[in-house]
Amino acid sequence: MRFGLIQQGDDPKKFLREYKGIQTNLKILNSSSAGIGSMSIGNNDSIIRKLPLFENINGSLVPSLSLELLRVAIGASTYQIKSSNASGETAFGEETGINHVKLGNLIIPTNPDGSVWIHYPEVSVDSISVSDIIKQKYPKDFFKDKILIVGTSAPGLFDLRSTPLKNNVPGVKIIADLTDQILSGSFLQRPDWIFGLELFTGFTLAILITIFIQFLGPIGGLSVFLIGNGISIFGSFYIFENYLFLIDPISPLVICLISYLVITFFNFLFTELERRKVRNAFSQYMSPVMVEKLAQSNKSLKLGGERREMTFLFSDIRGFTAISEKYKDDPESLTVLINSILTVLSDEVLDQDGTIDKYMGDCIMAFWNAPSEDPFHREKSIEAAFKMSEALNKLNENLDRKGENKLSIGIGINSGECIVGNMGSEKRFDYTVLGDAVNLASRLEGQSGNYGMQIILGEETIKKISKDAYLQFELDLISVKGKSEPTSIFTVFDSWNAEVAYEVFYEEHMDFLKNYRSKNWDKAKQHIDKYRLSIPEFTLYYTLFLNRIDELSKQSLPEDWSGIFAAETK
């Protein structure tokens, strides 16, 4: 060894990477040299950011080429290595690594592993070609008081390296830059507290991002993310340029990015869960289709409507006043009963893609073909009426209601153009329908009990449905209360169990209506006598007409009387 070595604090060999051997120079070079240093770049990645000052070669400390060059150049003889737990160093008993190396008057701060960050200058040390020296292009005094490092730069010798500033830099240039850096005393520093500062910055920004997201949403959090990390990046660059501290702005950036993504994700998740709860809640009041439409766009949340052809259904519990009277001392039970009825009936409407507009006591108002279009709105309303009848029969069985206690409903269905949309005030409105066709559907429901039919349909509903689709009968030509214009009304059945074939009865029934409207009372009464008691579905209907014929036959009707009946009740 051509140098002395003083070790203070913990053994530096613990912190250096150990090598089992070393490739030496030619003996003639070793014997004639004033110092021998290692040219190894140590445990670097593909980009050379730092170099070791010492290496542990089989238990012996070998200085780097830069360090040994300086020792010889300044005429020093001894290195002093100061590690953790040395006098004046605060380590609290922990072996934290090498702190600095002293050579003469040069004090070189190091990383815990004995390496030094290289501060690459924008303009590197001078380099000259060996051929120019051989050709004596430089005078001898040009090299006086200078350190000359000889190396190679040819690509074939595989000594080209990458630095943070450049690619394909000869290894000798990197050693020269480190040597110049030690002489100038311009050292990059990264003390232990910097890592804590990076974490503190990252978590502080993460907390601020969380707060701003909660109060201002994702945009507020994103603003803090961009501004905070912008300041962090600018600050680290400023401190690097002015104080040569290595502060990594990527660590706070990564912490903030993870925090922003995680918080945004969970906010989105919780918001979606809340939306689902709201959708489920509003679905109890509105059509699920309308709720979904509102969830996707709030453009529907404004007053106004559109003209559309729709089908409307009104259903009402018959004899509700008498039922209510029986429960006058037990309104809670009446509420349970009504809710049970409305539940089973509403389920059938919804199953047929209907929208329940509102409940009016014991009455249900529903419609089809809005908010989403449905070309089969007439057929689905009729199917819903059949299913409602079946559901009510099952409910009667479950509640063991028979005879006079048996629950029954009347249903009115009509189709026509109306205005559908949000109706009401600016502060409170409902999604509903307005139009003459809606009112007629309500009036038809009111007439169902008078005609003894469970379902009564308007002609606008029945005329666009195939006659083979349902068992249908025309009932009368009436002008409902509040309307002067007459309309034909119909009823439909989903099955026919009478002894008389449907086709036969249908033709005879149509003849009955012709005789009635032609004032052929005797023939009309013959038809009534024939079928009034034999077909239970028409018993009340024919009884109504029998009484009506008795009244009309006593009156002096005009010659052009067409059989229009003016309903005096709703």
Q: Are residues 269 and 231 in the same domain?
A: yes
Bridge partner residues of 429 (DSSP): 424
What is the pTM for the complete model shown?
A: 0.58
Q: Are residues 71 and 209 in the same domain?
A: no
Task: Note the pLDDT of residue 96.
Answer: 83
Integer Cα distance of 354 and 311 in angstroms: 10
Q: Name the 3-class secondary structure at 409.
A: strand
Integer Cα distance of 502 and 499 in angstroms: 9
Using one digit for the tens of pLDDT, what is the confidence trace for 121-155?
Answer: 877 788 888 888 888 888 878 888 888 888 888 88
Domain end, chosen from 184, 210, 228, is at: 184
Cβ density class 200-236: b for 16+ within 10 Å, e for less: ebbeebbebbbebbeeeebebbbebbeebbeebeeeb
Using one digit for the tens of pLDDT, what is the confidence trace for 95-123?
Answer: 888 888 999 889 999 888 888 988 888 77
Secondary structure element (H or E) that encloses residue 476, with its range: strand 471-479
In contact, 100 and 108? CB cutoff 8 Å: yes
Q: Are residues 243 and 323 in the same domain?
A: no
Query: Per the domain annotation, does 295 fall within a domain?
Result: no
Using one digit for the tens of pLDDT, what is the confidence trace for 407-426?
Answer: 999 999 999 999 988 787 77
Q: Report the length, in residues, of the chain.
A: 570
Q: Which residues contact 410 (CB under 8 A, 6 or more apart)?
A: 315, 316, 318, 445, 446, 448, 449, 454, 456
Of the candidates 461, 469, 419, the residue with the CA atom closest to the CA atom of residue 444:
461
Task: Note the pLDDT of residue 313.
Answer: 97
User: CA distances (Å), 278 to each of 272, 288, 302, 332, in order?
Assistant: 10, 11, 19, 28
CB atoms near residue 352 (< 10 Å): 23
Query: Per the domain annotation, does 292 fall within a domain?
Result: no
Q: Are residues 467 and 349 in the same domain?
A: yes
Integer Cα distance of 143 and 140 in angstroms: 6
Domain end, chosen from 184, 211, 241, is at: 184
Query: Per the domain annotation, does 200 fall within a domain?
Result: yes
Beta-strand (E) ranges in 280-408?
Answer: 304-317, 355-360, 363-368
Using one digit for the tens of pLDDT, what is the confidence trace for 161-210?
Answer: 888 888 888 888 888 888 888 888 888 888 778 888 889 999 998 999 88
DSSP state at residue 536? G
Using one digit for the tens of pLDDT, what is the confidence trace for 3-57?
Answer: 889 899 899 998 988 888 888 888 888 888 888 888 887 555 678 888 898 999 9
CA 258 to chain centre: 18
Q: Are residues 428 and 551 in the same domain?
A: no
Query: Per the domain annotation, does 77 fall within a domain?
Result: yes
Integer Cα distance of 570 and 360 in angstroms: 15
Long-range contact pairs involving 395-403 (C-beta distance under 8 Å, separation at least 24): 395/340, 395/341, 395/344, 399/337, 399/340
In contact, 61 and 55? CB cutoff 8 Å: yes
Given a cut of 70, whether residue 526 has pLDDT beyond it is yes
Using one digit for the tens of pLDDT, what is the confidence trace for 356-382?
Answer: 988 998 899 999 998 888 899 999 999
Q: Are residues 79 and 178 in the same domain?
A: yes
Q: Which residues contact 432 (CB under 8 A, 6 or more apart)?
A: 357, 358, 420, 423
For residue 291, the one-letter residue type is V
Pull the structure tokens for residue 75: 């005429």
Task: Please state which of the ranges 214-218, 291-295, 475-479 shows the lowest mean pLDDT.
Answer: 291-295
Task: Note the pLDDT of residue 298.
Answer: 53
Q: Which residue has the tokens 């329908």?
A: 433
DSSP state at residue 369? S
Q: Are residues 439 and 384 in the same domain?
A: yes
Task: Please state which of the ranges 83-92, 194-203, 216-225, 387-396 shows the lowest mean pLDDT.
Answer: 83-92
CB atoms near residue 462 (< 10 Å): 24
Q: Are residues 153 and 245 in the same domain?
A: no
Task: Note the pLDDT of residue 295.
Answer: 63
Using one digit for the tens of pLDDT, what is the confidence trace for 449-472?
Answer: 999 999 999 999 998 888 888 999
* Number of domains making up the chain: 4
In contact, 370 and 353? CB cutoff 8 Å: no
Pull the structure tokens for residue 241: 């340029």
For residue 126, the one-letter residue type is D
Integer Cα distance of 74 and 62 in angstroms: 18
For residue 361, what is the domain's CATH number?
3.30.70.1230
- Mean model confidence pLDDT for the chain: 87
Integer Cα distance of 315 and 318 in angstroms: 9
CA 471 to chain centre: 49
Integer Cα distance of 343 and 217 in angstroms: 40
DSSP 388-405: HHHHHHHHHHHHT--GGG
Q: Are residues 490 and 507 in the same domain?
A: no
Q: Are residues 446 and 501 in the same domain?
A: no
Bridge partner residues of 487 (DSSP): 478
Number of Cα atoms under 13 Å in the Cβ half of residue 509: 21
Q: Name the 3-class secondary structure at 58.
A: coil
Integer Cα distance of 305 and 423 in angstroms: 8
Q: Are residues 220 and 364 in the same domain?
A: no
Question: 49: domain range?
Answer: 4-184
Q: Please give the biggest Cα pair distance in the chain.
A: 149
The residue-averaged pLDDT of 76-99 equals 81
Query: Per the domain annotation, does 458 fall within a domain?
Result: yes
Given a cut of 70, whether residue 570 has pLDDT beyond it is no
Query: Per the domain annotation, does 484 fall within a domain?
Result: yes
Task: Please state which of the ranges 61-70, 161-170, 311-320 shows the lowest mean pLDDT.
Answer: 161-170
- The radius of gyration computed from the CA coordinates of the chain, to the nearest angstrom, equals 49
Pull the structure tokens for residue 61: 């400390």
Integer Cα distance of 411 and 389 in angstroms: 9
Task: Note the pLDDT of residue 297.
Answer: 55
Domain end, chosen from 495, 512, 542, is at: 495
Q: Are residues 46 and 118 in the same domain?
A: yes
Of the candidates 318, 316, 381, 317, the residue with the CA atom closest to the CA atom of residue 348:
381
Query: Per the domain annotation, does 293 fall within a domain?
Result: no
Query: Per the domain annotation, does 449 fall within a domain?
Result: yes
Q: Which residue has the tokens 């529907």?
A: 300
Of the candidates 108, 12, 110, the residue with the CA atom closest to the CA atom of residue 61:
12
Given a cut of 90, whether residue 441 has pLDDT beyond it is yes
